[in-house]
Amino acid sequence: MFGSSGMAQESGMFMVSQTIGSVLCCKCGIPMQPNAANMCVKCLRSEVDITEGLLKRLVLVHCPECESYLQPPRSWVKLQLESKELLTFCLKKLQKNLNSNKVRLVHAEFIWTEPHSRRVKVKVKVQKEVLNGAILEQSYPVEYVQQEHMCESCSRVQANPDQWVASVQLRQHVSHRRTFFYLEQLILKHGAAATAIRIKQMEQGIDFFFSNRSHGVKFVEFIGKVAPVRSRHDKQLVSHDPKSNNYNYKYTFSVEISPICREDLICLPPRVAAGLGNIGPLVICTKVTSSIALLDPFTLRHCFIDADQYWRASFKSLLTSRQLVEYIVLDVETVSSEVTIGGTKYRLADAQVARVSDFGKNDTIFNIKTHLGHLLNPGDYALGYDLYGANSNDMEFDKYKGHIPEAILIKKSYEEKHQKKRGKPRSWKLKSLEMEVDDKGRVDQDKMVSEYEQFIQDLEENPEMRFNISLYRNKEYKPSDGDESSVPLEELLADLDLSEHEDEEDNMTE
């Protein structure tokens, strides 16, 4: 049709333009486009109300503690105000009524209400076929009244805050808490313990209590993704209703974290070393995630052990980071090119070192091989393990005596820089979990402060550790002349304080 009209115009033929005729409304007489009812929209609405019989007031059962809504018969759904999920939830309660009245839903949106009004208003636009096939569209408000009623888990907690359903006992059998400091930051960043009703600090770990078994299972799965663990679970019958055949259990999950930590020195058993391609036997743990990264400091060979491999043939550390000794580097000569392993650079070098504690007492000097050739220069300080004077009860290690170096360097020392900054506030800070401290597990406070300070220093020196956790700007920090932040500002997050924003809004309204 369009092609023929175009051809007619090109040939110069006269064409009559098509127009839509108008008729008069049968009630008010105004001109309008013709429709099946022969009435204008205003008159049609005055004659027919398509919202008649539709529900305009409904009830939402709302839990004030956990901000969830009841989805009959017994499930509770956590929804935020004015979210797409809440709008869908509200329209589902209305859909059955719309279908019974043969009305089609076209559009829906929230109408703003005061948050404390306990009302949710939705503006709904519907269509319906009326007189002689004419389709009428109309909008109307639907008011949902929030009826406060606590869900089962919240009512159980309110009745007795100590009444838990699932507990996760997280343990690591080592002499320090560095692993738990790091795990705490991972848990905070990912909100893994948001559903915990109580957290208690124990002597060798942390206990988490949950009001639901599924929350405990989810938390155990999260820990298994960030640390090499093994777990077992058990349940205890609390009550039994023979009439309804309902059983109430308390579930306990025991989670043990591998005792191998970053910077530990390990002497691998022959069977394990053979399974890893005859690496070692002396290796350093460079990283711990869901798997353990091991590095041979003399050949730069490396391997990864996952949780299943480790627990099948578990082994312990020969020396831990608490036994590090400070050395001074007298001379360094590189013997290989720089190598990148797992995002970290290494370089083999021959080094001549001496213990700082020996200065002025003897002239003992050690000639060793190190993997820190890219970092060390003559005159630098380094932390390492003193195998020359170490007393070990490891049977495997005793077999290699006479064939091992006198010292193994682990990392470069920045003690002078730390001493200059000691006592000064940092430009950043960390958040912490709200934990109760068990009286039996109350540890030495000085030891705890010292270990936490060491953890903070490790974060400053290691960007790879900072990558997985959230650091926040310290509002109380005031930089002084010549004071440089150890952490770049772009890595810091702004700490949002809602109370301050609320106070500002109240002042503006006044």
Query: For position 228, what pLDDT does the model report?
Result: 94
Residues 190 and 322 in one domain: no
8 is a domain residue: no
492-502 core/surface letters (b: 16 or more CB in 10 A; e: else): beeeeeeeeee
H and E: helices and strands count for the chain: 13, 28
Query: For position 182, what pLDDT does the model report?
Result: 93
CB 167 within 8 A of CB 209: yes
| Closest residue by Cα to residue 396 from 271, 292, 258 | 271
* For range 351-359, the mean pLDDT: 89
Separation between Cα atoms, residue 79 and residue 86, nearest integer Å: 6
Residues 53 and 107 in one domain: yes
**How confident is residue 62, by pLDDT bands cut at 50, 70 and 90?**
very high
Q: Tell me which of 409 and 44 has the higher pLDDT.
A: 409
**In this structure, what are the phi and psi dihedrals at residue 346, rounded to the nearest 5 degrees?**
-140, 155
Is it the case that residue 207 has pLDDT exceeding 90? yes
200 is a domain residue: yes
Separation between Cα atoms, residue 367 and residue 330, nearest integer Å: 10
**How confident is residue 255, by pLDDT bands cut at 50, 70 and 90?**
very high
Is it the case that residue 31 has pLDDT exceeding 90? no
Is it the case that residue 445 has pLDDT exceeding 80? no
Query: For position 466, what pLDDT does the model report?
Result: 82
Residues 291 and 232 in one domain: no
Residues 66 and 81 in one domain: yes
Residues 336 and 426 in one domain: no
73 is a domain residue: yes
Query: For position 258, what pLDDT does the model report?
Result: 94
* Residue type at position 159: A
E-assigned strand segments in 395-506: 407-412, 428-429, 436-437, 471-473, 492-493
Say which range, 77-81, 181-185, 302-306, 391-395, has the weakest mean pLDDT: 391-395
> Which residues face 354 on adjacent strands?
328
Separation between Cα atoms, residue 117 and residue 472, nearest integer Å: 35
Is it the case that residue 492 has pLDDT exceeding 80? no
For residue range 274-293, what is the model confidence (pLDDT) as tens digits? 998 888 789 999 999 999 99
Query: For position 510, what pLDDT does the model report?
Result: 39
Residues 319 and 408 in one domain: yes
Question: Of 95, 125, 152, which residue is a domain's last?
Answer: 152
Q: Which domain holds residue 219?
A: 160-257+422-476
Residues 376 and 457 in one domain: no
Is it the case that residue 509 has pLDDT exceeding 50? no
Separation between Cα atoms, residue 275 and residue 267, nearest integer Å: 14
3 is a domain residue: no
Select the highest-mean-pLDDT range: 91-100, 182-191, 358-367, 408-417: 182-191
Question: Of 386, 412, 438, which residue is a domain's last?
Answer: 412
Residues 395 and 427 in one domain: no
| Closest residue by Cα to residue 472 from 424, 420, 504, 426 | 426
CB 327 within 8 A of CB 384: yes
Say which range, 26-30, 44-48, 56-60, 430-434, has the weakest mean pLDDT: 44-48
E strand or H helix that includes residue 49? none
| Closest residue by Cα to residue 148 from 65, 57, 56, 58 | 65
Is it the case that residue 266 has pLDDT exceeding 80? yes
Sheet holding 428-429, edge to edge: 428-429, 471-473, 492-493
497 is a domain residue: no
Query: For position 75, what pLDDT does the model report?
Result: 87
Is it the case that residue 503 has pLDDT exceeding 50? no
What's the number of domains the chain is made of?
3
Is it the case that residue 93 has pLDDT exceeding 60? yes
Longest dimension (CA), the chain: 117
**How confident is residue 49, by pLDDT bands cut at 50, 70 and 90?**
confident
For residue range 389-425, what is the model confidence (pLDDT) as tens digits? 777 777 777 777 767 888 999 998 887 666 666 667 7
308-340 core/surface letters (b: 16 or more CB in 10 A; e: else): ebbeeeebebbbbbeebbebbbeebeeeeeeee
Q: Structure tokens of 376?
A: 């060390």
Place of tokens 């009630």: 27
Q: Under DSSP, is residue 465 helix (H, G, I), strand (E, B) or coil? A: helix
Is it the case that residue 463 has pLDDT exceeding 90? no
**How confident is residue 254, by pLDDT bands cut at 50, 70 and 90?**
very high
* For range 440-459, the mean pLDDT: 78
| Closest residue by Cα to residue 22 from 42, 38, 44, 37 | 38
166-171 and 246-257 strand pairing: parallel
Is it the case that residue 325 has pLDDT exceeding 50? yes
Query: For position 500, what pLDDT does the model report?
Result: 42
Residues 395 and 432 in one domain: no
Mean pLDDT of the chain: 83
Query: For position 419, what pLDDT does the model report?
Result: 64
471-473 and 492-493 strand pairing: parallel
Question: Of 101, 134, 152, which residue is a domain's last?
Answer: 152
Q: Structure tokens of 63?
A: 């839990």
10 is a domain residue: no
Query: For position 46, what pLDDT does the model report?
Result: 67
